[in-house]
């Protein structure tokens, strides 16, 4: 009689360019011995089936995976060690593969998806800050020189202004300041004030005021009659009459020096986030007469919805 040994040994792991988090996972080696090889084969098949039944795999695919920072990779490594799963990323494929026991893969994949969502949010904020910085620059007085804020603070200030906030707390040179957006001043905890200012950039044709607008001089808002028979009048008339049978008395173009670049910022943010440029819809909205000047100067918001009805 003789003994036939069988050794089940995991294949060596492939080295990856980005990361392969498999450290501290101890391989299990099965040594199968029996008088008959068929018994070994049956036992081997049973073990493999048992392992396969307990094994799970989840693949997460997101373009921003390549943007993971060292601290985020470390968090994933900590999850791998805690749950004893394999976490593998193979560039340029923007995917993370998680392999392990079913009960472990699910919570690990959930945590990794949360990390990736935070990366997506961070990249979207950075993209929004870049776009905002091309159109608007907030500055603060530093010893008589107006110095631009760093891009993320610039974005926070612009968003606060667009949201009609009265004040916002920011950091200037490592100190906390409360900014009065209406008075354009920043005050620290000791009551010391410095001036801030908002400068709208009009560099380049893409983000400047439309070329067909009437020169505004120093005016922030201007209402301009659109003459009948012009291409602009005909275009608005055609769009309006698609859904409204009302008689057009006149068409005014509202030119707002502040609202135009703000709109361009938001539009580009949405276009960039959605990966397309077909996100803009045109709405004709009945407006209460007393609200017209407020809308022209400060913009339209959802609080007006339903007052006179909406018409597309």
CATH number, residue 116: 3.30.1370.10
Q: In terms of domains, do 144 and 113 share one?
A: no
Among 50-54, 64-68, 183-187, where is mean pLDDT lowest?
A: 50-54
CA–CA distance, 256 with 272 (Å, rounded to integer): 24
Q: In terms of domains, do 149 and 118 share one?
A: no
Q: What is the CATH number of the domain that holds 156?
A: 3.30.720.50
User: pTM for this structure?
Assistant: 0.55
The confidence score (pLDDT) of residue 25 equals 57
Q: In terms of domains, do 25 and 124 share one?
A: yes
Which residue, 94, 129, 164, sits at the end of a domain? 129
Q: Which long-range contacts (CB under 8 A, 24 or more apart) does 31-38 make?
A: 31/5, 31/6, 31/7, 32/5, 32/6, 32/7, 32/8, 33/3, 33/4, 33/5, 33/6, 34/3, 34/4, 35/1, 35/3, 36/4, 37/4
In this prediction, residue 203 has a pLDDT band, given cuts at 50, 70 and 90, of: very low
Total domains, the chain? 3
Strands 193-200 and 136-142: antiparallel
Q: What is the CATH number of the domain that holds 273?
A: 3.90.228.10
Q: In terms of domains, do 172 and 269 share one?
A: no
More confident residue, 143 or 91: 143
Please report whether residue 196 resides in a domain. yes
Q: Which domain holds residue 175?
A: 135-200
Note the pLDDT tens digit of each residue in 115-140.
999 998 898 888 888 888 888 899 99
Burial of 211 (0-12, 13-18, 19+ CB in 10 A): exposed
């Amino acid at each position: 009689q003789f003994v036939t040994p069988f050794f089940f040994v995991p294949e060596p792991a492939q080295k990856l360019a980005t990361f392969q988090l498999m450290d501290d996972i101890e391989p299990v080696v099965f040594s199968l011995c029996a008088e008959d090889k068929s018994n070994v084969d049956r036992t081997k098949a049973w073990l493999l089936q048992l392992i396969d039944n307990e094994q799970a795999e989840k693949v997460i695919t997101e373009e921003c995976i390549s943007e993971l920072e060292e601290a985020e990779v470390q968090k994933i490594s900590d999850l791998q060690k805690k749950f004893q799963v394999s976490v593998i990323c193979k560039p340029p494929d923007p995917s993370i593969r998680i392999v392990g026991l079913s009960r472990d893969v699910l919570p690990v994949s959930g945590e990794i998806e949360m990390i990736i969502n935070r990366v997506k949010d961070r990249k979207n904020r950075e993209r929004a800050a870049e776009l905002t910085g091309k159109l608007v620059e907030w500055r603060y007085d530093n010893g008589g020189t107006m110095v631009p804020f760093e891009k993320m603070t610039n974005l926070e200030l612009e968003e606060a202004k667009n949201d009609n906030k009265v004040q916002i707390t920011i950091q200037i040179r490592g100190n906390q300041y409360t900014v009065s957006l209406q008075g354009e001043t920043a005050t620290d905890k000791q009551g010391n004030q410095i001036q801030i200012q908002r400068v709208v950039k009009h560099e380049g044709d893409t983000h400047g005021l439309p070329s067909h607008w009437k020169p505004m001089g120093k005016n922030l808002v201007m209402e301009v009659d659109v003459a009948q028979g012009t291409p602009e009048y005909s275009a608005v008339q055609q769009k309006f009459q698609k859904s409204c049978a009302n008689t057009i008395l006149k068409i005014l173009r509202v030119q707002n020096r502040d609202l135009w670049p703000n709109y361009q910022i938001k539009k580009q943010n949405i276009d960039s986030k959605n990966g397309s440029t077909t996100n803009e819809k045109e709405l004709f909205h009945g407006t209460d007469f007393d609200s017209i000047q407020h809308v022209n100067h400060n913009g339209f918001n959802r609080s007006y919805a339903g007052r006179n009805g909406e018409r597309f």
